[in-house]
Amino acid sequence: MCKLSIIIPSYNNAHLLPETLASIFNQEFLDYELIIVDDGSTDNTKEVVERHGDRIKYFRQENSGGCSRPRNTGINLATGEYIAMFDSDDIMQPGKIRSQADFLDRNPNVSFVFTDFCDFRGDEILPSHITTCPIFNRLPKQKVGKDAYVINRTDAYETLLVENFIGGSSMMFRKSLFDEVGHYDETLEVSEDIDLTLRVAHKHDLGFICSIGHHRRLHDGNMTSKVEKIISRSLTVFGRHFNVPKSPAAQRRLINKVADLHGSLAYYYRETGRYADSLAEYRASLGLRPSCFGTYKAMAKLAVMALAKGSR
């Protein structure tokens, strides 16, 4: 039994994993177990992990096609009171897990706490994620310590519907929380993080530590590089929340967000020559936001492109 279980799902990231592991082993907080769930890697992930001996609990399963199943596997294996998810290509910053574990210790009525993060590619580190979230930055926050805040669940939930201010490697939560809100949705290959955080925020206040907890690596292997999949799964996730009670302003924001997602998927289909699929998505967008002139303009361009192709 330990205070914290750190769970890393990994698929073919053996070349990046050593840097990630070093950033965790360098943390000053030591009351943790580290669980790596190998989601059917075909590289030398197992060999990289075994170099660290019993410092890591290693579990291998067949490839699931996404992060939800290995994360759930890790949760089921975990013995810690708290759970921290961390991606196998991210870099943990000093003090992250101590600050989050201390927050949960000091705030027994809060079950979920997250930190800020920065994206990076090579040597370039981008501005912090929170600085790109204007709605979140306007939310009222209860200060409960140095750089530590509690955010009302209604405010957090309604903001997450339109602005995702929580990163996948930013989260730490009480393991008992999963008994209430459920595990990661294994039908979602992507967008599983926002699905979970929406379910949490609908019922619970969120803790926030205003410091950089990790650097998120940007590279071609990221799940977020798969455009069609992430948009279509986002539509699935946000579509589930249309009938959840919320303020009229939040409902309007959600309608606009889903309409925009349909429009983005329509554009993707249009530019890849899938004209029938594109038309269906534009119609879905108009069904939610019938007065949007831009959508009619985009449909006109679609018609021109389809006619040009048909005349060849």
Domain boundaries, the chain: 4-224, 247-310
Confidence of residue 8 (pLDDT cuts 50, 70, 90): very high
pTM, to two decimals: 0.92
What are the pLDDT digits (tens) for 243-255?
999 999 999 999 9
CATH code matching the domain that covers 4-224, chosen among 3.90.550.10, 3.40.190.10, 2.40.10.120, 3.30.470.10: 3.90.550.10
- C-beta neighbour count of 116 within 10 angstroms: 22
Alpha carbon of 227 to those of 55, 130, 172, 186: distances in Å?
37, 23, 28, 19
- Across 141-170, b (16+ Cβ under 10 Å) vs e yields beeeeeebbbbebebbbbbbbbbbbbbbbb
Are 95 and 150 contacting, i.e. CB atoms less than 8 angstroms apart?
no
Query: What is the phi/psi pair of residue 180, to 5°?
Result: -95, -45
The answer, yes or no, to whether residue 193 has pLDDT greater than 50, is yes
What are the pLDDT digits (tens) for 253-297?
999 999 999 999 999 999 999 999 999 999 999 999 999 999 999
